[in-house]
Amino acid sequence: MPGATAQTLRPFLWRAEQLFSDREIVSRTHEGIVRYDYEEYADRVAQLASALDEIGVEEGDRVGTFCWNHHRHFETYFGIPNMGAQLHTINPLLPDHHIEYIVENADDQVLFVDQSLLPKLEGPAQSDAFDGVKQFVVMGSEVPETSLDPVVDYESFIEDHSTEYDWPDVDEEAPAGMCYTSGTTGDPKGVEYTQQMLWAHTMATLPESGIGIGSDEVVMPVVPMFHVNAWGMPFSTTAAGAKHVYPGPSPEPADLANLIAEEGVTLTAGVPTVWLGLLEYAKENEVDLSSLERIIIGGSAAPKSLIKTFDQQYDVEVVHAWGMTEMAPIGTVAHLKPEMQDWPAEKRYEKQAKQGLLVPGLEMKVIDENGEEVPHNGEDFGELWVRGPWVTTEYFERPEANEEDFVEDDDGTWLKTGDVVNVDEDGYVQIVDRAKDVIKSGGEWISSVELENALMAHDDVAEATVIGIPHERWQERPVAFVVPTGGADTETLQEDLLDAIKAEYPKWWVPDDVVYIEEVPKTATGKFNKKVLRDQYGEDTDLVKGKAPEEAAPEGDDD
């Protein structure tokens, strides 16, 4: 029995091990399907902690992971925080210079890395930013050819260690997790999750007003574990004592369909792009989704058509949720109130396509341009501000960003979300715009400001701006608007610019088009007025036509 009465993660695992010891954890890996139970899981978590202890990892140290969703990554989820260290999940889809910044800023001591992601890590790992990393651990039972050093494979790393570990009583204020967000301009910003924040988030997501997870469920998080802890699902699934299914490296729709059918998945979660892909696959192939009851969709807006197709063709409920890295991440969930259950289908889908109702435990307000709170009438809009036990009140070592994104008032600190919303009479929040200068493609951020700077670095570009154009599969794709200089060769400039971006950024950051304009529209204060461009070109899907979806895929960049 854990000694502490503090709000920490350890009791969740302890309970699962005691009460549901033979519930399964199933994982798709490079080496095929791995299957074991909570008892073995807890043993391996203890072995991992002992191994980290032996190489000198101490309470308060940060340990990074550069991994997809699988059982070994899940072992780090409890192993690292339970020993009082901090689990830092790193997004491998980021440009190299962001990865360097993140590892140096977090001062990671050890890095766990997937085999398929080795080539992606090897470049940044050459830089001084990685000097503090004293051990690389490759997720598997062997080490492929690599320049990482010193390096060991995960199974050798843990194998000789005891399955008993003398867990410390960790303070609930101790940082347990960390995730960087690239949601706004400049370098990525670190968000630390204390033990208490992760505990509170888990407790909020367990009941029906959150996600609602029962011990009889089979839960498959498709949302990456490097994305805000896969929306906390590895923790909440453990707290519920439910079965876990992890889809492994770069899962294709066929892999997801197979796991759902073979493991009897009841609940899954991911960004809209993933489910649009699964539906496409299901058109051409025989799939059995009969076990599936609910899909949590968030990260970008869940299209109404997606909600409808899952309901009508598969009898699967889409639970649309909104959240942020800064909120660990869940903020609102579009559950229908009891009186809405009997509404006509179309009216229900309308409601479900909104971002939803605030999760119990949080507070929110919507502030307009004049600093006034807007009424809940479904029309007036403003920026959404939130606060609560699992909402951060600062970024890691970034005072200038804190000033922009947080507001102190008499009784606490509010997070300014950067999402522009209205709230209807029933209390459902709906995102109508984004104050942040970013594009979200397939659930991953692209910084429009970084692309603009890269474009404007070209001698033949007078001004450039990049906006997100709606895209059926990726929700948004970047399109560049460029004002060429007088002497520019406009025959070759577009190609030159795209080549320059390809050389520096992952291929899914490359704009789908470069459009010449005479002038970038400006606001009264001289800033680029992207709203005007968005209004003008936002519906112009021709701009992103003819682009093979594979080329636009964030997940296409992983190996």
Positions marked catalytic: 181, 326, 440, 445
Q: Which residue is nearest to ligand AMP (CB)?
A: 325
The answer to whether residue 202 forms part of the interface with ligand AMP (CB under 6 A) is: no
Given candidates 8, 89, 109, 181, which one binds ligand AMP under the rule CB under 6 A?
181
The answer to whether residue 299 forms part of the interface with ligand AMP (CB under 6 A) is: yes
Measured from the CB atom, the residue of 210 and 323 that comes closer to ligand AMP is 323
Given candidates 210, 247, 277, 298, which one binds ligand AMP under the rule CB under 6 A?
298
Given candidates 355, 430, 441, 448, which one binds ligand AMP under the rule CB under 6 A?
355
Given candidates 65, 194, 238, 300, which one binds ligand AMP under the rule CB under 6 A?
300
Give, in degrees to the nearest 5, the angle at Cα 148 between 145 and 154: 80
Given candidates 92, 247, 329, 506, which one binds ligand AMP under the rule CB under 6 A?
329
Phi, psi of 323 (to 5 degrees): -170, -175
Part in contact with ligand AMP (CB under 6 A); list of ranges 319-327, 519-527, 528-536, 542-550: 319-327
Given candidates 324, 464, 467, 514, which one binds ligand AMP under the rule CB under 6 A?
324
Handedness of CA 306, 381, 467, 330 (dihedral sign): negative
With a CB cutoff of 8 Å and minimum separation 6, the contacts of 237 are: 213, 217, 219, 221, 243, 244
Part in contact with ligand AMP (CB under 6 A); list of ranges 87-95, 169-177, 316-324, 403-411: 316-324
Task: Record the tokens describing residue 32, joined without a space.
Answer: 């095929």
Measured from the CB atom, the residue of 111 and 302 that comes closer to ligand AMP is 302
In angstroms, the CA 499 to CA 493 distance is 10
Measured from the CB atom, the residue of 38 and 428 that comes closer to ligand AMP is 428
The answer to whether residue 442 forms part of the interface with ligand AMP (CB under 6 A) is: no
In angstroms, the CA 172 to CA 160 distance is 31
The answer to whether residue 188 forms part of the interface with ligand AMP (CB under 6 A) is: no
Residue 142's CB is within 10 A of a number of other CB atoms, namely 12
Q: Residue 484, preceding bond cis, omega within 30 degrees?
A: no
Measured from the CB atom, the residue of 117 and 438 that comes closer to ligand AMP is 438
CB of residue 469 vs ligand AMP: minimum separation in angstroms? 16
In angstroms, the CA 89 to CA 336 distance is 33
CA nearest neighbour of 194 among 118, 97, 81, 298: 81
Measured from the CB atom, the residue of 202 and 325 that comes closer to ligand AMP is 325
The answer to whether residue 268 forms part of the interface with ligand AMP (CB under 6 A) is: no
CB of residue 355 vs ligand AMP: minimum separation in angstroms? 5
- # chain residues binding ligand AMP, by CB under 6 A: 21
Phi, psi of 498 (to 5 degrees): -65, -40
With a CB cutoff of 8 Å and minimum separation 6, the contacts of 434 are: 418, 419, 420
Part in contact with ligand AMP (CB under 6 A); list of ranges 59-67, 153-161, 299-307, 420-428: 299-307
Residue 398: strand, helix, or coil:
coil
The answer to whether residue 430 forms part of the interface with ligand AMP (CB under 6 A) is: no
**What mask, x for binding ligand AMP by CB under 6 A, covers residues 211 to 230?**
-----------------x--
CB of residue 360 vs ligand AMP: minimum separation in angstroms? 18
Residue 190: strand, helix, or coil:
strand
CA nearest neighbour of 299 among 395, 390, 386, 224: 224
Structural contact between residues 473 and 276, judged by C-beta atoms closer than 8 angstroms: yes
CB of residue 37 vs ligand AMP: minimum separation in angstroms? 32
Measured from the CB atom, the residue of 241 and 468 that comes closer to ligand AMP is 468
CA quadruple 508, 513, 515, 519: dihedral, nearest 10:
-10
**What mask, x for binding ligand AMP by CB under 6 A, covers residues 388 to 417?**
-----------------------------x
The answer to whether residue 322 forms part of the interface with ligand AMP (CB under 6 A) is: yes
User: Within its chain, how far is the Cα of 351 from the centroid?
Assistant: 24
Given candidates 51, 93, 301, 319, which one binds ligand AMP under the rule CB under 6 A?
301
Start-to-end CA span in the chain (Å): 43
Residue 474: strand, helix, or coil:
coil
In angstroms, the CA 274 to CA 498 distance is 27
Residue 15, H or E segment: helix 10-19
The contact set with ligand AMP (CB under 6 A) reads 181, 183, 228, 298-301, 320, 322-325, 329, 355, 417-419, 431, 434, 440, 445
